C-alpha cells in the first residue's frame, strides 16, 4: 500500500481576491477563506488522515488549524510546503506587474522571479519533502496544506509534464483545491 498525501490549497485571502502575488507574504485568511477551510474539514472528515502538515505561512497554517482541530489531529509546520518566492512581484496586482515589469510578465511565471525562486528551485524543495513524508509514514494517509506553487510542483513531478502542459490541463488552482498523490517505491504519482 502506498502512502497517500492529500494536498490542498489554503483558503482565500484578501490578496487572492485582489489578484495580488502573495509569494512569501504572510497574509491571513479572509472570512470566505475561513469558510472554505471549514468546508475542507467537512469534506476530509472521512479520509482517515493520520497527520496534518502545513506551510508555515499564515494563510495555510490557519486553514490547516481549522481542519486539524475538526479532525482531532496534530499539526506540524513544514518549511518545504511554503509558496514559491515571487521576489519583486510580491504584493503587486497583475496590472501593477504589467506596468512595472512589462518585459517579464509573460516569462516570469515560466522561468521564475528575479530576487525570488525558479520553478526548479521550488520543485527541488517540495518533491523530496513529499517523498520523505512517504518514507516516514508508510501506508498512511496524510494532509498537506499548502499553496498553488507547491501543488503545481507535485503535479509536474507526478505526471511528468512541463509547467506549460500543466497549466493547459488544470488552469488556475482555486483556493481549497484538493489533489491526491501516492508515494510508492520512491516515486510521486497521482492518486484518485
Give the pLDDT of residue 106.
73
Has 147 been annotated as catalytic? no
Domain 3-191 of CATH type 3.40.50.1240? yes
Q: In this model, does residue 111 exceed pLDDT 80? A: no
Does pLDDT of 7 surpass 80? yes
- pLDDT given for residue 104 in this prediction: 79
108 falls in which pLDDT band (50, 70, 90)?
low
- Residue 109 confidence (pLDDT): 67
**Tens-digit pLDDT profile for residues 53-95:** 999 999 999 999 999 999 999 999 999 999 999 999 999 998 9
Strands (E), 56-135: 75-77
With beta carbons less than 8 A apart as the criterion, state whether 122 and 153 touch.
yes
Residue 4 has pLDDT above 70, yes or no: yes
Residue 179 pLDDT greater than 80, yes or no: yes
- Write down the pLDDT at residue 51: 97
Alpha carbon distance 111, 78 (integer Å): 25
Provide the edge-to-edge strand list for the sheet that holds 178-184. 75-77, 51-54, 141-146, 3-9, 178-184, 187-191
Domain residue ranges in the chain:
3-191
> Is 137 known to be catalytic?
no
Three-state DSSP class for residue 21: coil
Q: Which of 10, 12, 62, 147 is catalytic?
A: 10
Check 62, 83, 119, 147 and give the catalytic one: 83
Least confident residue range of 33-42, 93-102, 167-176? 93-102
Amino acid at each position: 500500500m502506498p502512502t497517500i498525501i492529500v494536498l490542498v490549497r489554503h483558503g482565500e485571502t484578501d490578496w487572492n481576491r485582489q489578484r495580488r502575488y502573495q509569494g512569501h507574504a504572510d497574509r491571513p485568511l479572509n472570512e470566505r477563506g475561513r469558510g472554505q477551510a471549514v468546508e475542507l474539514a467537512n469534506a476530509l472528515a472521512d479520509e482517515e488522515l493520520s497527520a496534518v502538515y502545513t506551510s508555515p505561512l499564515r494563510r495555510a497554517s490557519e486553514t490547516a488549524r481549522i481542519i486539524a482541530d475538526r479532525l482531532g489531529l496534530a499539526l506540524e509546520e513544514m518549511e518545504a510546503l511554503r509558496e514559491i518566492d515571487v521576489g519583486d512581484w510580491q504584493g503587486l496586482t497583475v496590472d501593477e506587474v504589467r506596468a512595472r515589469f512589462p518585459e517579464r510578465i509573460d516569462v516570469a511565471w515560466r522561468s521564475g522571479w528575479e530576487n525570488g525562486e525558479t520553478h526548479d528551485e521550488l520543485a527541488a524543495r517540495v518533491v523530496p519533502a513529499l517523498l520523505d513524508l512517504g518514507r516516514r509514514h508508510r501506508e498512511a494517509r496524510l494532509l498537506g496544506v499548502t499553496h498553488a506553487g507547491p501543488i503545481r510542483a507535485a503535479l509536474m513531478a507526478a505526471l511528468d509534464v512541463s509547467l506549460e502542459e500543466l497549466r493547459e490541463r488544470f488552469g488556475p488552482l482555486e483556493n481549497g483545491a484538493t489533489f491526491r498523490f501516492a508515494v510508492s517505491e520512491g516515486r510521486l504519482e497521482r492518486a484518485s
